[in-house]
A and B are shown apart, each in its own frame.
Chain A
């Protein structure tokens, strides 16, 4: 960086260079905002900054290593036992789901609707770096080489995490559903009401604006993805409604919801890979 600009000092004046660079920034921003042309430039620069990202993860790696060293046999056994119990419980529930799934397929076949294809997933480990302050994004150790693509939905064991917004060869960025720029089409699991949940920028809050004061939505309702928009597959938990403020002076309800996914303390996310059936969601 210094080699590039330190030498050119005797060229144009500081003001000229400043104006030129400001115009260059403006051009970059316009192109980056409007389209995908700069994706390759970003991917190339991602490679340049990769050592910094790796170095930033070292403290966490060291901490995890120390935790592993000081974890006793007894703790491991206890944890193993707890996981075994949890696994049994999940398997029992899965038996029911498989029966229900088959029944659902038969019913759909009777209706002539396309049967739902089981989603294939790719496990992606999170990179321990913080991204832009006050935005809600994650960096994962999977990139274009692993088949990650822009718009790919990410989930964890509890619900929808977000979607891939930038892809480099080895890493990609996921924008969380809580990011202020993110919106996800949802369905009230109880009443079937369709709406859109927006990120609030807060670490565990979504907002559901523009619902009229008579809308059928209650505290504690589970919002699941509705599959509208074609980015997220239908039927995954998104958030639980935590508070509804009904102010007669305002036209709409003020609804807040807590994301179902563990957005802050996960170590990995699952990327759902599009299958031919999932790519073209049936329009209701």
Chain B
């Protein structure tokens, strides 16, 4: 199989998203919770931006559904949130690609907040939304992590000629 082989590319993408899901459920102490960004959302935003013809709303929705199962949350809750950010990212990808890195990070922050807002609204409507201000710090941490994650994923994409 050569690097540009579609089956291989597909497997590598599955592996990358698998790792992202894994990182979202890695065990840690409760106090560390506010400092763990939503890796799945960040990875999804990157691929929707870099390869919108390949990764978009459908993949986002599926990832969100798997996350719902992993988290034990209401089915469809994260699925909807991830589908929304995938849709927005695909819509905005020409601009996002042109942005300087810091501006891109700010846009990612906005997308992450939208992701969290949707989840909070649904949790508030179905049982009880988390009230603490610490709930929002993962989006800030995600924004700070973005430039590094971007470089890592871009290198992976170039090496394996994904997209």
Contact = CB atoms under 8 A, between A and B. Distances in A.
Interface of B: prevailing SS: helix
A9 interface: yes
B57 interface: yes
A83 interface: no
B49 interface: no
B72 A38 contact: no
Interface in B74-89: 74-77, 79-80, 83-84, 87
B95 interface: no
Interface in B105-145: 122-123, 126-132, 134-135, 138
Nearest first, the 4 A-B pairs at minimum CB distance are A5-B58, A28-B76, A181-B127, A180-B128
A45 B22 contact: no
Contact of B80 (A25, A57, A166): A25
B114 to A, nearest CB: 14
B39 to A, nearest CB: 12
B78 to A, nearest CB: 8
Contacts of A59: 26-27
Which of B30, B57, B58 has the most chain A CB atoms inside 10 A of its CB?
B58
Given A14-B87, A26-B80, 10 more contacts: A2-B55, A9-B53, A25-B64, A28-B76, A38-B75, A53-B25, A55-B22, A180-B130, A201-B130, A201-B132
Interface size class of A (residues with CB under 8 A): 35 or more
Interface of A: 1-6, 8-9, 14-15, 17-18, 21-22, 24-29, 31-33, 38, 41-42, 45-46, 48-49, 52-53, 55-57, 59-60, 128-135, 137, 139, 165-166, 173, 180-181, 201-203, 264
B66 interface: yes
B160 interface: no
A271 B19 CA distance: 32
